Structure 1
Amino acid sequence: MSDAFFSKPRPFSKRKRTDDDGGSAPSPSRGGGARNGTSSRGSSLQRGGRGGDRGRGSSRGGRGGRTGGRDSQQQGGKGKGRRRDDDDDEELDVADTGFDSDDAGSQEPEGDQDDGTEEEDDLETPAQKRLRLSQMYLSTLEKDKEEDHGFDAADLDRDIIADRLQQDVLEHTGKLHLNVASTLQLPIPSSSIFRTPAKGHRGSVTSAVASHDGQWLYTSSKDGAILKYSLGAVSSSSPSSSSTADADQPRITRVAYMKKALSESQKRNAEKHKRFDAAPTAATGEKGKGKEVAEGHTDEILDLAISHDGRILASAGRDKVIGCWNVEGDGGKWLRGLGGHKDVVGSIAFRLGTNELYSSSYDRTVKLFDLSTLSYIETLFGHQDSIQSIDALRAEVAVTAGGRDKTIRFWKTAEESQLVFRGGGASRMRNVLDGAMEDEGVEDEERKRRRRREEAKGPVKFVEGSVDCVAMVDDSTMLSGGDSGSICLWNITKKKPIFTKQLAHGINEHASETEGVIGTARWITALATLPYGDVFASGSWDGSIRLWRIDERVRSFSQIATVDAPGFVNSLQLTAPALRPTKETHVTPVNLVAKGGSKKGGDAAAGDKKQDKALIVVAATSKEPRLGRWMRFKDAKDGALVAVIPMQ
């Protein structure tokens, strides 16, 4: 170890020779390093050696120098040359010799000698390390802000930095709740509700999703095609600025059409009748002359999901394929179809801030993909029936609705585990399938039903037979809806719902020839939440979308507004573009919206317009349900609905 240490070039010190030394320079040896107080035991002995050489330092430094000299002399005892006694180090004076051991003869820059970060890491305490990392993080924030906005970092407000730190901590813990409901300007005027053009899809619209910056809208249909719209005029409009002259102009404009691909049978028929076509030439688009073959889904598209950066669009198809589209710019290009599922892919969801995609299928499995590399990661098992819906947020967790198995499952992908929450009422069949006692809980349930039937008081409660949709409020709270018309609020610490809203969308009454007027609950067809917010939306087929507010303790919720939406609401999405700071537009952070504050330097760059804070509700409405055709409304319209709700 000592040979490796002394083989490196080290700074040396010139010493003024006296007559007592014999007038001859010492021969180089390992013990020579001890004269300069240099030792191989670490930086503490090295600093002590410097104090001993100078003779002006503290007694501790002198002792360190003498100790370092003795250690080095012991290690270099075999070296040749004349050695000096330890008392010579005490009598040596820097003022008399005129040389300094730190400056004289040094071949390294002063900055490298004074830095010493690599050698002094062993002496850094955990508290000092935390302080240094915090200072580095703050300096990084100031540098990023200076590069983005072009103003001096000294103008940053310390309160803003504190809010940013608090926001980062809350986002990583998954417990950030935005008080957005109190800032919404209600009721919603009709001038803030927009619809897609009439000429669009040829089939029923199954899903609609908007990019997180509020610039683009995508819709899918049972015809297997995807339409891309521009929302520039919608996101920049407000009720106060709208006029009657602009009311007739379309706010949502179509920019791209990603059509359906040919199925295998259609491709075989095309090859069979190829002799009737002309010779293959360049793609001209003319009939019979080298037409371009479309790439995409070959069957119905049931769901859409957009990545957080807005570059990748994912689509779930009845053809068992997950489509990946590059939607940068005004167009859309097919990248690849991801397989693996053995049945219909019913629902998909991106993990916030990443390109990880969760998919659920009728084959009762959940799969995880990484769309940055278009690769498969893992498969999760557990449901006993086809999975109807899936949702995910920032953490490595997902929530699924199991349909007829009446369960909501909370998946922890990192731990490879799951939590099971059971909806519906008790029954002997379910208890036997679950492995419990046959009569456990059934007698009490039947007694309650018998008492309700005898008393005939209060509203009729419908038994939940299927859990059809789920949505995550935060990383530990979720919502579910099913065919009983109830919306349940769940927490991962409780096995039962902490709050239930019965008949959230009312009862549908229809006449029967034998039973008279029969009332059935309108089932919940779609749920959507503002991530980590206190607002969520629900949809059914009663002709309206209902907005709900979650209380501060996250223990209950209540209705605050409705949006007219005739027909079946097949999908819902809530987004607030102005609350999400991006590289292109820097606006007020989410935790300042509830306070009504403004961020210094938080406006957009020079030349950009300031974006108003608003909550955008995106819904896909259709004449028939997303997964079937057992009901149909002739008066409804197929398309997407966008409602812009301004905030105070």
Structure 2
Amino acid sequence: MAGDAFFSKPRPFSKRRRDDADGAAASPRTKTSRHGTSARGAALSRGGKERAGGRDRAGAKGKQRRRGGDDDDEELDVADGGEFDSDDVGSEDAGEADEGSEEEDDLETPAQKRLRLSQMYLKSLEKDKEEEDGFDAADLDRDIIAERLQQDVLEHTGKLHLNVATTLQLPIPSSSIFRTPAKGHRGAVTAAVASHDGRWLYTSSKDGAILKYNLDAVTSASPAPSSSSASSTDTPRIARAAYFKKAPSESQLRKCEKHKRFDGAAADKGKGKEVAEGHTDEILDLAISHDGKLLASAGRDKVIGCWDVEGESGKWVRGLGGHKDVVGSIAFRLGTSELYSSSFDRTVKIFDMSTLSYIETLFGHQDCIQSVDALRGELCATAGGRDKTVRFWKVAEESQLVFRGGGASRMRNVLDGAMEEEGIEEEELKRRRKNAEKGPVKFVEGSIDCVAMVDDSTLLSGGDSGSICLWSITKKKPIFTVQLAHGINEHESETEGIIGTPRWITALACLPYGDVFASGSWDGQIRLWKIDARLRSFSPLATIDAPGFVNSLQLTAPSLRPTRETHVAPVNAPKGRDAGDKRDEKKALVVVAATSKEPRLGRWMRFKEAKDGALVAVIPMQ
């Protein structure tokens, strides 16, 4: 932050101890005049016998002194009877330095120190605001700084503090739901992510390409009335901005080089050996940094792509390797350039995207890792697929917490390293109750496919049983569970008749440190949920129509998390107000989803009536 420069500022030297008897300074200090000539240099140029100490005087009446540091021969006339004092030269600067040293050298209590550091931080914020927006810092609204300080403190606590569920204007009108243009990707859309300032949207597909869209017209527009008289040309639309194409594969490069040799194009020889810029296979996930300048992509080609997307376009920077299998999911740590990546090789790797370097590898899962999520702290959560575990990683402490879903068995306990009899009695009691009581069928969880962090101590998980579980790091079992969150899919079998299977949870996303999260499946709806203030339960809030498979979800609130780029003062703005003033800015919750005809990781099901693309729902807040 800007205040770090003040905290790391070196302290000035302490007061000098002078020996009044000898008139000599223990640590002589050279002072400069306004013209750049030091007092000591002036005394020596006179050829006098004065000592060059801290308070020695060098001067004479009715004579002229030649400046020794300048190229020209301009002389300083002191013949008017005035005395030239070396300590008076630059006295203002010296006085300020002495005052600063006295203030910082005095013994201060911890409360006084906190007050002084807070004042310095406020001054740094005012200075940054003045340099960025170009207006006087004295006219800056103090409420904005106070709100920003409070937001920084709450974010660093790692607890839920954004209570936006009660402020949402529900139900969601159809005029607030937007879709990307029909002519886009050639394959199924696997992921969609929006920048934190709500300006840009990125989508990835199984065709190995990435599309960039402009969201300014969507996020800044007020909801239009749902009437037939409204003109279609007046409705805001998502505009396409850039296209990042797929890189040619190795076999394509070899074919290209072979054709060049037969054609005899000697001048173009060797171009096929250039490093490919982009992914050579399907892209499965996307993640964007908090400042919106870096975009990361996870590919089936075992590569993590790094894209520079600053501005309206973008370019390939580099591909990061290291994983031995498909990279299934990635997530940026909020406010930093650290990237967490999970792979089918059962490992989690940490990269620093600012230097494009590898940091660390986390081991522990026994099956392909399907999902990873991270917030501001040095923490992350992962879903282990068929090993039926959710793991909470404490990177700084080099430890992990294991949360087990599904049913317990002796064989599984032995394989997982737990006690052989742990949880067996409870599982047998449940089975007896199922056989004795005739009630609704409960499906056993066989895979945990997605995970989302609520805050630094609470997380959510979803799996193939259709249940959504709320976990806390203080308990081994889920705090709250909703069974069959997206219903049951009934299909007819030739031998068994009508069979009902749960719709598995395909995507989960939570507003960081907020009380709202979204879940997706393939029932044609995105469901919004409200988390209880005590983090003990959650309840349905609203639904959004989304036909097809929901392959990814994201929740963001640009007005609640402004970035430096959004603070641009308008030309005719009054003093003390700018575009970053959140009281004049439209507050809304933005839901971003990637919908497709087929699942993200396979093609075992397909909906012909669904559309491949991204869905953006802008929900206004009161």
TM-score calculated relative to the size of structure 1? 0.77
Q: In the TM superposition, what is the alpha-carbon distance from 1:633 to its structure 2 partner? A: 0.9
Consecutive unaligned residues of structure 1, counting only runs of 5 or more, are: 1-7, 13-31, 41-102, 284-288, 588-598
| Contact map agreement 1:11 1:107 (CA 8 A) in 2 | no
Which of these residues, 474, 481, 500, is aligned with residue 500 of structure 1?
481
| Contact map agreement 2:369 2:385 (CA 8 A) in 1 | yes
- In structure 2, the partner of 1:323 is 305
- In structure 2, the partner of 1:538 is 519
- In structure 2, the partner of 1:125 is 108
1:569 aligns with 2:553: no
Whole-angstrom CA distance in 2 between matches of 1:554 and 1:274 = 64
Where in structure 2 are the equivalents of 1:280-359 lying within 5 Å?
295-359=277-341
1:171 aligns with 2:155: yes
- In structure 1, the partner of 2:409 is 427
Whole-angstrom CA distance in 1 between matches of 2:138 and 2:244 = 50
Q: 1:107 to 1:273 in 2, by over 3 A?
A: closer
Which of these residues, 430, 452, 463, is aligned with residue 434 of structure 2?
452
Q: 1:187 to 1:112 in 2, by over 3 A?
A: same
Which of these residues, 462, 473, 476, is aligned with residue 457 of structure 2?
476
Q: 1:108 to 1:11 in 2, by over 3 A?
A: farther
Whole-angstrom CA distance in 2 between matches of 1:168 and 1:536 = 22
Where in structure 2 are the equivalents of 1:500-539 lying within 5 Å?
500-539=481-520
SS at match of 1:443: helix
Q: In the TM superposition, what is the alpha-carbon distance from 1:636 to its structure 2 partner? A: 0.9
Whole-angstrom CA distance in 1 between matches of 2:16 and 2:478 = 71
- In structure 2, the partner of 1:389 is 371
| Contact map agreement 2:253 2:272 (CA 8 A) in 1 | no
SS at match of 2:455: coil
- In structure 2, the partner of 1:95 is none
Give the number of equivalent residue pairs: 543
Q: In the TM superposition, what is the alpha-carbon distance from 1:440 to its structure 2 partner? A: 3.6
| Contact map agreement 1:33 1:39 (CA 8 A) in 2 | no
- In structure 1, the partner of 2:127 is 143
| Contact map agreement 1:149 1:601 (CA 8 A) in 2 | no
| Contact map agreement 2:333 2:374 (CA 8 A) in 1 | yes
Q: Indicate the larger mover: 133-142 or 502-511.
A: 133-142
Which of these residues, 400, 403, 411, is aligned with residue 393 of structure 2?
411
Whole-angstrom CA distance in 1 between matches of 2:15 and 2:519 = 73
| Contact map agreement 2:224 2:235 (CA 8 A) in 1 | no
- In structure 2, the partner of 1:362 is 344
Q: CA RMSD in A?
A: 3.2
Which of these residues, 29, 33, 40, is aligned with residue 20 of structure 2?
33
Where in structure 2 are the equivalents of 1:64-79 lying within 5 Å?
none
Q: 1:478 to 1:196 in 2, by over 3 A?
A: same
Whole-angstrom CA distance in 2 between matches of 1:235 and 1:298 = 33
Where in structure 2 are the equivalents of 1:437-448 lying within 5 Å?
437-448=419-430
Q: In the TM superposition, what is the alpha-carbon distance from 1:364 to its structure 2 partner? A: 0.7
SS at match of 1:473: strand
Letter of the 1:570 partner, please give it. N
| Contact map agreement 2:218 2:236 (CA 8 A) in 1 | no
- In structure 2, the partner of 1:96 is none
| Contact map agreement 1:261 1:293 (CA 8 A) in 2 | no
1:604 aligns with 2:582: no
Q: Indicate the larger mover: 194-203 or 388-397.
A: 194-203
Letter of the 1:604 partner, please give it. A
| Contact map agreement 2:140 2:577 (CA 8 A) in 1 | no
| Contact map agreement 1:11 1:105 (CA 8 A) in 2 | no
- In structure 2, the partner of 1:595 is none
Which of these residues, 255, 263, 275, is aligned with residue 241 of structure 2?
255
Consecutive unaligned residues of structure 2, counting only runs of 5 or more, are: 1-13, 28-84, 569-573
| Contact map agreement 2:593 2:616 (CA 8 A) in 1 | yes
Q: In the TM superposition, what is the alpha-carbon distance from 1:246 to its structure 2 partner? A: 3.1
SS at match of 2:566: coil
Whole-angstrom CA distance in 2 between matches of 1:418 and 1:333 = 37
- In structure 2, the partner of 1:72 is none
- 1:321-364 CA-to-partner distances (Å, cap 9, x unmatched) read 00111112222211111000000000000111111111000011
| Contact map agreement 2:562 2:580 (CA 8 A) in 1 | no
Q: In the TM superposition, what is the alpha-carbon distance from 1:420 to its structure 2 partner? A: 1.2
Letter of the 1:578 partner, please give it. S
Q: 1:427 to 1:130 in 2, by over 3 A?
A: same
Q: 1:310 to 1:480 in 2, by over 3 A?
A: same
Where in structure 2 are the equivalents of 1:14-53 lying within 5 Å?
33-34=20-21
Q: In the TM superposition, what is the alpha-carbon distance from 1:502 to its structure 2 partner? A: 0.9
- In structure 1, the partner of 2:190 is 206
Letter of the 1:261 partner, please give it. A
- In structure 2, the partner of 1:234 is 218
SS at match of 2:540: strand
Q: In the TM superposition, what is the alpha-carbon distance from 1:448 to its structure 2 partner? A: 2.1
Q: 1:241 to 1:156 in 2, by over 3 A?
A: farther
Whole-angstrom CA distance in 2 between matches of 1:427 and 1:351 = 36
SS at match of 1:207: strand
Which of these residues, 242, 255, 259, is aligned with residue 273 of structure 1?
259
Q: In the TM superposition, what is the alpha-carbon distance from 1:121 to its structure 2 partner? A: 4.6
Letter of the 1:478 partner, please give it. L
Whole-angstrom CA distance in 1 between matches of 2:455 and 2:164 = 15
- In structure 2, the partner of 1:26 is none
SS at match of 2:208: coil
Q: In the TM superposition, what is the alpha-carbon distance from 1:177 to its structure 2 partner? A: 1.6
- 1:537-591 CA-to-partner distances (Å, cap 9, x unmatched) read 000000000001111111111111100011100000111112222233349xxxx
Structure exhibiting the larger radius of gyration computed from Cα positions: 1
Q: In the TM superposition, what is the alpha-carbon distance from 1:216 to its structure 2 partner? A: 1.3
Whole-angstrom CA distance in 2 between matches of 1:548 and 1:388 = 22
Q: 1:643 to 1:291 in 2, by over 3 A?
A: farther
Whole-angstrom CA distance in 2 between matches of 1:584 and 1:540 = 35
Letter of the 2:579 partner, please give it. A
Q: In the TM superposition, what is the alpha-carbon distance from 1:113 to its structure 2 partner? A: 5.0
Q: Indicate the larger mover: 187-196 or 316-325.
A: 187-196
Letter of the 1:639 partner, please give it. G
| More helix as a share of residues | 1
| Contact map agreement 1:260 1:294 (CA 8 A) in 2 | no
- In structure 1, the partner of 2:230 is 244
Q: In the TM superposition, what is the alpha-carbon distance from 1:9 to its structure 2 partner? A: 13
Whole-angstrom CA distance in 1 between matches of 2:120 and 2:275 = 54
Whole-angstrom CA distance in 1 between matches of 2:621 and 2:16 = 67
Whole-angstrom CA distance in 1 between matches of 2:528 and 2:365 = 30
Whole-angstrom CA distance in 2 between matches of 1:385 and 1:257 = 35
